[in-house]
Amino acid sequence: MTEFEFQIENFMLYCTSKNLSRKTLASYEQSLKLFAAYLRDKFAITDPAHVQSGHIRQHIKYLRERGKYTVVVDQARKA
């Protein structure tokens, strides 16, 4: 098991303990696995400790360009 897989599994256990719906859990897990694959393929990052804010911004840009961007930015601006 890779460090990314371990951390995703750990986060999913946390989310399960919060009684999130199955649909939400599946969505979170898929999004995190796709993000991990993006980091591995684009930046050769295999350890979550090496992820920087620029990597996250580039991933959001990538999602926007693909038309898969959601309300993440709008939610962040409200905070």
Q: For 8-57, give the secondary structure using H, E and C.
A: HHHHHHHHHHCCCCHHHHHHHHHHHHHHHHHHHHHHCCCCHHHCCHHHHH
Question: Residue 5: which of 50, 35, 43 has the closest Cα?
Answer: 35
Task: Give the predicted TM-score (pTM) of the model.
Answer: 0.79
| Segment 8-58, tens digit of pLDDT | 999 999 999 999 999 999 999 999 999 999 999 999 999 999 999 999 999
Split into its structural domains, the chain has a count of 1
Domain that includes residue 13, residue range: 3-78
> Tokens 């898929």 identify what position?
30
